[in-house]
C-alpha cells in the first residue's frame, strides 16, 4: 500500500500483496506524517457525505489531515471487491472515490496481471 496527500485529498494505492489482508498500516508522508490504518469489515456505517460502506476518522479529536496523528479508514467487503476485482476501463484498474468530513479520498488498485479481473467491465 502506498499513500500520499495531494491537492484534492488523500490517495491510497493498493498493491497485489494487499488483496488478502483485513488490516493495513503505513505512514503517510506530509503534514504530521500520520499513521494510516485501513480496515476491511463486513459492514461499515457511513456518516455525513461519505459513501455507503466507507467511514474515515482522524485522531485526536477528528482533526483535519494537516494536524492529525492517525487516520482510520474503514471499508466494507463490497468496496474491497470493487477495488480489487471490478475493472474500471477509464482508470485501467480498480477504483473507489468518496467525499468525507476530512476531504476527498481515492483508493485504487492497478496491476499488470489482468487474469483476476471480474468479467464485468465498468465504463
**pLDDT of amino acid 72:** 94
Q: What is the mean pLDDT of residues 70-94?
A: 86
> DSSP label at 27?
E
Report pTM: 0.84
Q: What is the mean pLDDT of residues 51-62?
A: 90
How many structural domains comprise the chain?
1
Cα 32 to Cα 2, 13, 15, 60, 82, distances in angstroms = 17, 20, 24, 12, 31
CA distance 29 to 5: 8
Helix (H) or strand (E) holding 13: strand 9-14
Give 91's pLDDT tier (boundaries 50, 70, 90).
confident
Q: Is residue 28's pLDDT more than 70?
A: yes
Q: What is the mean pLDDT of residues 46-67?
A: 88
Determine whether 20 is exposed, middle or buried from the number of CB atoms within 10 Å of its CB (0-12, 13-18, 19+): exposed
- The boundaries of the domain holding residue 46 are 2-122
Q: Is residue 96's pLDDT more than 70?
A: yes
Q: Taking the CA of residue 2 as centre, how many other CA atoms within 13 Å lie in the half-sphere pointing to its CB?
A: 7
Check if the beta carbon of residue 96 is closer than 8 Å to that of residue 84.
Answer: no
Amino acid at each position: 500500500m502506498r499513500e500520499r496527500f495531494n491537492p484534492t485529498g488523500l490517495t491510497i494505492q493498493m498493491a497485489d500483496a494487499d488483496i488478502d489482508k483485513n488490516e493495513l498500516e503505513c505512514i503517510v508522508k506530509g503534514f504530521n506524517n500520520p499513521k494510516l490504518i485501513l480496515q476491511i469489515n463486513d459492514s461499515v456505517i457511513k456518516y455525513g457525505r461519505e459513501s455507503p460502506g466507507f467511514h474515515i476518522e482522524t485522531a485526536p479529536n477528528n482533526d483535519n489531515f494537516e494536524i492529525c496523528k492517525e487516520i482510520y479508514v474503514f471499508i466494507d467487503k463490497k468496496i474491497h471487491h470493487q477495488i480489487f476485482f471490478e475493472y474500471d476501463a477509464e482508470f485501467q484498474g480498480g477504483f473507489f472515490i468518496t467525499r468525507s468530513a476530512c476531504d476527498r479520498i481515492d483508493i485504487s488498485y492497478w496491476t499488470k496481471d489482468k487474469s483476476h479481473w471480474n468479467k464485468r467491465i465498468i465504463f
